Chains A and B, each alone.
Chain A
Amino acid sequence: MSTSRGRIWALVAVVVLGVALTAGYAVSEYLRSSATPTASVAVAEDDLAAVTAGPHVLFRSTAPGDRFGQLAVVAADDPSGARAYTGIECDLIAADAGRVSCLRSTGGFATSHEAVLLDADWQTTDTFPLTGLPNRTRVSPGGSLVATTALVAGHCDAAGTITTQTIVHDLDTGAADDLEDYDLVVDGAKVSPVDRNYWSVTFADDEDTFYATAQSVSMGHTWLVRGSVSQRTLTTVLDGGMCPSLSPDGTRLAYMVQTSSSPNIWSFAVLDLESGEHRALDGETANVDDQVAWLDDDTILYGLPRTDEPGVTDVWSLGVTPGARPALFIPQAWSPQVAPGP
């Protein structure tokens, strides 16, 4: 091929320049990364056993440094105070009855995703593979049921849409139910839309009843549903809401509702299960995307990403009474779960 010498040299110049600039950038990033101070500079650390001796909050630490992404705990009465790290990496955390569910993605030549169950001493008791990125998890109050939701990327699939897979594990029997196999009952009639999707389970204290999100894009609805593991059914409770979280007293659901479509804003709302009354919590004006955790019967906890610091998030608290304002609860944290202590 009679490619001119000039073109070859031009290509060589592009390659050399490209490689040199990229290498320079990579080296500077490497130096920056290895020079980053450990989290302890910014965040005070405490002894693990001391914190877990009393009421505490488990969370994912997002403080930059080599403990980024680790499961950590703080005392419930001093949430912004010293934290203790477990050394266990978790993207999402749920805990109840002394059992912890930790969902994580592990990088490597191919990313893999798993749910790891831990006992009160942080020892692994079970590991379940997930079919996609971790999305939500919850443990039942009795500790026998664990729900996980993963985002399943339909590789080369119809329209490449992302779907969810939600599994409820019964740790006593070893059963693992995919919610898609349950009967979905909408307004008293059984339906089975092809594109039904379920996510964000929250358990009641009878070790059978739970609430979750059900969605069918083709039917144009996103519902809060009440499920039963023994009956294998899901029954709609409310049309237009997602990511429910049951209050400790079992009477209310905190959930997400779209309050504006342009700009796209999701807010939290609370549904009274007995009266059916629901009300948006307008104290928080940011666009939220989280399944909340209840601190007590009057306060919810949720994460918000920092806009100026990629990867860093904060956990905020918000009262469910009208007019309540959000307050920073745990800085540099995500996925909070309240535990009473032994």
Chain B
Amino acid sequence: MSADVAAEKAPRSRTKQRVSSVVVTLGVVSLLTDISSESVAAVLPLYVTASLGLTTIAFGFIDGVMQGASALVRIAGGWAADRGDHPKWVAFVGYGLSAVTRGALLLASGFVSVLSVTAIDRVGKGIRTAPRDAMITASSNPRTLGRSFGVHRTLDTLGAAIGPLIAFAVLWVIPDGYHTVFAVSFAFAIIGVAVLGLLVPDLRPRRAAWLEKHRTREKRGLPACKGCSCGIPGIAPAGRPFAWRTLAAPRMRRVLLAAGGLALLTVGDGFVYLSLQARDGFATKWFPLLYVGTNLAYMLLAVPMGRVADRWGRARVLVLGHVALVAAYLSAAVVLGSAWTTIVTLVLLGVFYAATDGVLAAVTGQLSEASSRGTAIGTAQTVVAVARMISASAFGILWFGIGRVPAMLVVAGLLAVAVPVALAAVRGLDNEAVALDEDDDEDDADHDHDHDHDGPAVADESPEAR
């Protein structure tokens, strides 16, 4: 065991290291799950119209309701992970629920049942996101947390790209093979759940944090010598219990305000794509593919941006990523469009996501205590998602009120003003995190002789692969 623990400590040095195998495994789980969900998502509209008969209004309504529910379930998922200190099994429930819906799609034949199945899938997605991101945080070296999230998001987005390709390949071979697509999707989902259940260790972040703080046998309430006694209560400490108030800590509040405030000044990708389409034949022709372009840029840039965030400060990169968004809006608003402005806009959107999506989880993860990390990450993601929903509706009003180009320019202008303000709001947060980190390191040095403690950071496996 002591060799494992030493391995766990080694990444604290500044030498170049690999990303934790837990992060890679979680990335593979997301890749498999995204292949599963995106292969179905790619053919579902066609399936519903071709075989089931579609009612416009019902589709829109249920979709809207489910988006809201998914956001709330996300906080609940994080909270359950913190409360029970078993994020893996909360995530397992979320992934499992989505996998079950893939199987149910094989049996569903009516429009309503297909919609309910899709809705349950969304709930599953809501449940698993925050616990998973908490596990990524818990199993990563704090110094390279941004890179860890970058690696995870790259794998995740790769799955989202492969899924539709598989689906269309199946339909190409079997023209009415919707059920085969569902079966393939089901298999990927089950394998993803199996990888999570069998390969990912049952991380106990709260317990690990307690052990981190109480490094001596004495502090842990253990007998002074090893092997003197077993099974006494101090051996399995529960860690500091979860508390909502840790979310209201000043530094967390500053991140939530900055990220939420900036999200209130976003436009919604749908409007950006419509804006491109309104002006450019290229964008109209490739309209269904525009989001693929954004995803491709995101996939390629997630790791580099994560590294940049680790070096320059994650909160800073999170805020400055919105500069790419300002540029994307300006590019989308350009009166004389061409294929190039469309491509540039998509790349800028990709830069924005690479600089903000995983980085937001990294910032919240680094600033929250282990006892409330899942809830903190879930809350931050929900705040941003809800703020974006509000801003998209508000932008709709602006779009119809003053027209497409002025509306884009107004939002770009407001966002350009808001970025320096947000930058001031998060000033010092990155240093604070580094300072905390260095405290830890000193702590490590003090207790380097104490590697034989009974509770490693994880229950039965080391989080680091060497």
B180 touching A162, Cβ below 8 Å? no
Determine how close the nearest CB of chain B comes to the CB of A146; give it in whole angstroms. 17
B374 within 8 A of A: no
**Which of A15-34 touch B at CB < 8 Å?**
15, 18-19, 21-22, 25-26, 29-30, 33
**In the complex, chain B residues whose CB is within 8 Å of the CB of A155:** 269-270, 273, 290-291
- What number of B residues sit within 8 Å (CB to CB) of A? 77
A289 within 8 A of B: yes
CA distance A151 to B325 in the complex (A): 27
Determine how close the nearest CB of chain A comes to the CB of B348; give it in whole angstroms. 15
A87 within 8 A of B: no
**Which of A51-69 touch B at CB < 8 Å?**
68-69
A275 within 8 A of B: no
A276 within 8 A of B: no
Cβ contact of A3, chosen from B55, B176, B194, B461, cutoff 8 A: B461
A156 touching B45, Cβ below 8 Å? no
A135 touching B56, Cβ below 8 Å? yes
Cβ contact of A158, chosen from B46, B392, B462, cutoff 8 A: B392
**Which of A227-275 touch B at CB < 8 Å?**
264
A131 touching B277, Cβ below 8 Å? yes
Determine how close the nearest CB of chain B comes to the CB of A239; give it in whole angstroms. 16
A1 touching B285, Cβ below 8 Å? no
**In the complex, chain A residues whose CB is within 8 Å of the CB of B171:** 107
A310 touching B42, Cβ below 8 Å? no
A1 touching B184, Cβ below 8 Å? no
**Which of B39-57 touch A at CB < 8 Å?**
42, 45-46, 49-57
Knowing A11-B198, A110-B164, the reply to whether A1 touches B462 (Cβ < 8 A) is yes
B392 touching A264, Cβ below 8 Å? no
- Chain B: CB-nearest residue to A193: B400
Determine how close the nearest CB of chain A comes to the CB of B389; give it in whole angstroms. 5
**Which of B164-206 touch A at CB < 8 Å?**
164-165, 168, 170-177, 179-180, 183-184, 186-187, 190-191, 194-195, 198-199, 201
A159 touching B46, Cβ below 8 Å? no
**In the complex, chain A residues whose CB is within 8 Å of the CB of B186:** 22
B212 within 8 A of A: no
Determine how close the nearest CB of chain A comes to the CB of B319; give it in whole angstroms. 21
B164 touching A129, Cβ below 8 Å? no
**Which of B270-286 touch A at CB < 8 Å?**
270-271, 273-274, 277, 281, 284-286
Give the size range of A's interface with the partner: 35 or more
B53 touching A289, Cβ below 8 Å? yes
Determine how close the nearest CB of chain B comes to the CB of A193; give it in whole angstroms. 8
Binds A, one of B63-71, B218-226, B411-419: B63-71
**In the complex, chain B residues whose CB is within 8 Å of the CB of A25:** 180, 183
B287 touching A131, Cβ below 8 Å? yes
**In the complex, chain B residues whose CB is within 8 Å of the CB of A7:** 198-199
A299 within 8 A of B: no
CA distance A47 to B24 in the complex (A): 61
Cβ contact of B170, chosen from A11, A26, A159, cutoff 8 A: A26
A107 touching B67, Cβ below 8 Å? no
A305 within 8 A of B: yes
20 additional A-B residue pairs with CB within 8 Å, beyond A131-B277, A289-B54? A2-B462, A3-B198, A7-B198, A8-B198, A10-B194, A14-B194, A19-B187, A26-B170, A33-B175, A107-B171, A110-B286, A112-B285, A151-B45, A156-B268, A158-B396, A159-B63, A161-B64, A162-B63, A305-B53, A313-B53
- Give residues in A with beta carbon < 8 Å to B: 1-3, 7-8, 10-11, 14-15, 18-19, 21-22, 25-26, 29-30, 33, 68-69, 91, 105, 107-113, 129, 131-133, 135, 151-164, 180, 192, 194-195, 199, 215, 264, 289, 305, 310-311, 313
- Give residues in B with beta carbon < 8 Å to A: 4, 21, 42, 45-46, 49-61, 63-64, 66-68, 109, 164-165, 168, 170-177, 179-180, 183-184, 186-187, 190-191, 194-195, 198-199, 201, 268-271, 273-274, 277, 281, 284-292, 389, 392-393, 396-397, 399-401, 461-462, 464-465
